[in-house]
Amino acid sequence: QVQLVESGGGLVQPGGSLRLSCAASGSIFSINVMGWYRQPPGKQRELVAQIASGSSTNYADSVKGRFTISRDNAKNTVYLQMNNLKPEDTAVYYCNADLTAWDRKYYQYWGQGTQVTVSS
């Protein structure tokens, strides 16, 4: 079993910053890709950013230049630094991990979600 535990969400004013963290634990052999998705109210879940084990990154156009994804492989943790937040960034943010477990099989796991609200 693998668990993803997120933290760092909250309420912030437009132009402010937040840092999300997601720690993976359990029967992990290696983590291939970690990422963040978000689901705004009444909308579908969408990709925000991804980072591979070799540190290559991929961002949604709407967050390029404002958000930065990073990971600590030793801690199986991924971070999302969000700067210059806008009201349209309001959403539930979900951590995602594509990993290889100790049984050498591939799995995808999701965190429970953390609310980010950008409002004055």
DSSP result, 37-51 = EEE-TTS--EEEEEE
* In the chain, % of residues over pLDDT 70: 100
d(CA 116, CA 102): 33
| Continuous segment of H or E residues that includes residue 54 | none
Q: Taking residues 102-120, what's their average pLDDT?
A: 95
pLDDT in tens, 5-57: 999 999 999 999 999 999 999 999 999 999 999 999 999 999 999 999 888 99
User: For residue 92, what pLDDT is reported?
Assistant: 98
User: For residue 55, what pLDDT is reported?
Assistant: 86
d(CA 95, CA 4): 7
